[in-house]
Structure 1
């Protein structure tokens, strides 16, 4: 299964990749937005990522018979970031994903939650789970990887296990891997993506452990008991798989837009309705003004671009992408995401914080606003296309009014 990451990539890069794959008879592809590009700093020149939703659409249109995979990260522990992941997963289904591969994780409750979510969808899509033979050394490395949750108590247990006996720690890690695979099978996962097993000897031992476990563990409830015991050392503290926050707040549906967020949304919705909802008197007048031929000249186009940027950048952080998507993102500008993502979050958020660590994820803000404004279905149904680099840094206003009048409106 080849992977395509959208880091600093355009539609043309993906189409070139498809051409190379077709020439080799390859027809399977995992589409990812990608984690942070090395050296990418938000305060410097922006880097835009080809996000997975439009990438899936592009490949499905070009290659209708291919097998397409998409990612899902259910290991999120605040309502906004968790629900935003599932809303985007619904978009990925609509865009053409044949199945999902989950992020690497060890929280069985979140694995089970993802399966329950999928079963509740109108059209169920098979899911694979990423699993890795976890050692103390790997846990230390993974703890800094965006989107992967390795808690301090997990590391402490693995470190203690290794100090007691390296051989015993190796055996226990392989048994835990076998146990996790069996649990995922009980939960209904279609398969696994296996890593951390590098030799034939390890693979054969893994199979032996699986065979023994299948004979002993006969239900998901029995599996849960075995799983908890596998993470417990005699006399040691209990291991927790969730981040160190108030566990009573986990999963509690209380996320709402603040008063200031809601006021801002209402103001921008009013401006959009007055100036951009086709049919109103003010909208017709504004549309007539910005579609004059003068704005198609080099000087006129530059002036209109400068005017739009001067108005919208202080209001929403606009970077004049040339095709405004605010009406589809509850007036939270996608350009304020360091990756420029419009359809939903990447998998790298942590407790609502952006992978870059300098801001709250804009998609958590979008979720709160959409929930408060009763517009959550839009975040699951509206597939927002990618923006070409050639279209950026020009006014979006003429295009909006010259577009087909049948374009969906607020």
Structure 2
């Protein structure tokens, strides 16, 4: 059993150190000393290698682990952006050859240069990726992500619904997005405790400085409010040494608080040298010795974000604060009418029991349509019918019934099981539309279909299936269907 797997099984707090595998000999030399130390404040310290978060010239997670001698404790990330099943299986085969058995599966932030109006880029979603990985290596330690730092009902609800599907798909643990709102950390723990089978959760943490805050405010899914930036900038103006000490104090304090909340560990970013690690260890010791309860911690946490002459820091986006107290969301009349109409049409034409469905099935499953120009014509007909209604891109395996007739192909990443972590107040990470999964959530809530979203695992669309009609396959006796 791997060290991380054993620590999670024994409920021992653990520190996972995220490494961005850059091509820098000096960086690797410094990191080697950190990893060789092997612990932080008595907790196991284990390396994790990020995937596709930096420049194109960065190393792969596997090559990054190789720079440190492929330690068996390594947790490798796999980002699904612009990836297919074959890419995941290749990485897993290479990992298996090197004795590495721990994988964190992520859909990933937007691919640099990906513009939705141009050629589509499809992402191997974390839910089917978990299913693929679990089938290929049943005994591996598999993780997935959860972003609880959402402040509209639709995007928050959709995040937790998708997290449920990740657990169903085989996730052994969840890692939270980087965030600083303790209320949301507590909310995520309460959600997990309400699950039938609870799983350990890690929380991402980072030492936040004014410079990092300026960078992170543009990272999808990370909330850095104006009041947070103002406080960090004022501390830097007072004294760089003072700002450095305060940022280290807050990092140590957050880690202590997360342990009190019941988190299984932390996913630590931004620590690159042994001196930084030792400074953090000293700060943790000071905080841990002076805090006796979670309520004590909350007072200390709030005080750490206060500075004379500045208003109290808020962790909630201002636009979300203004909407506090508004009634629960519901689908609009148009959304409800559209769902009712389309579900009725679906039952008529795609039921295998009704006479109209049987007639349609007989027509589209004739051998005539299987290949050649006839197959091209059928594909064109389906596209002409469905694109104006749904934004359909004829993926070849229609999933509309499982997505409440909100086509997943209208998501710039092609995600079907739920949103990525990059939404902001219901807006898509790309900023050009409302997240389709927020729309889907509203419809599901109004139609009493939320449990369907929580318990339906929608498979990925293989590249070879795309751009052909999905109608013949729908009526095949053993056609692949969503797992419920």
For Structure 1 versus Structure 2, the TM-score category normalised by the shorter chain is over 0.9
On the 8 A contact 2:458/2:482 being kept in 1, the answer is no
Question: Shift in Å at residue 57 of structure 1?
Answer: 0.2
**What is the aligned counterpart of 1:237 among 289, 299, 311?**
311
Find out whether 1:8 has 2:75 as its counterpart: no
Distance in 1 (alpha carbons) for counterparts of 2:363 and 2:136? 38
Q: Structure 1: which 5+ residue stretches go unaligned?
A: none
Distance in 1 (alpha carbons) for counterparts of 2:445 and 2:306? 40
On the 8 A contact 2:225/2:316 being kept in 1, the answer is yes
Find the counterpart in structure 2 of residue 169 from structure 1: 243
Alignment of 1:7-406 (within 5 A): 7-247=81-321, 249-250=323-324, 254-404=328-478
Question: Shift in Å at residue 250 of structure 1?
Answer: 4.3
Question: Shift in Å at residue 215 of structure 1?
Answer: 1.9
Distance in 2 (alpha carbons) for counterparts of 1:98 and 1:49? 22
Cα distance, 1:210–1:409 mapped onto 2, change above 3 Å = closer
Distance in 1 (alpha carbons) for counterparts of 2:410 and 2:279? 49
Q: Indicate the SS of the match to 1:342.
A: coil
Q: When the two structures are superposed, what TM-score results if normalisation uses the length of structure 2?
A: 0.83
Question: Shift in Å at residue 409 of structure 1?
Answer: 11
Question: Shift in Å at residue 408 of structure 1?
Answer: 7.6
- Number of residue pairs the alignment of both structures matches: 410
Q: Structure 2: which 5+ residue stretches go unaligned?
A: 1-74
Map Cα deviations across residues 364-388 of structure 1 (whole Å, 9 max, x no partner): 0000000000000111111000001
Q: Which runs of 4+ in 1 moved over 6 A?
A: none
Distance in 2 (alpha carbons) for counterparts of 1:10 and 1:252? 42
Distance in 1 (alpha carbons) for counterparts of 2:227 and 2:475? 57
Question: Shift in Å at residue 196 of structure 1?
Answer: 2.1
On the 8 A contact 1:154/1:239 being kept in 2, the answer is yes
Q: Indicate the SS of the match to 2:346.
A: helix
Root-mean-square deviation (CA), in Å? 1.6
Distance in 2 (alpha carbons) for counterparts of 1:323 and 1:407? 9
Map Cα deviations across residues 322-363 of structure 1 (whole Å, 9 max, x no partner): 110000000000000000000000000000000000000000
Question: Shift in Å at residue 297 of structure 1?
Answer: 3.0
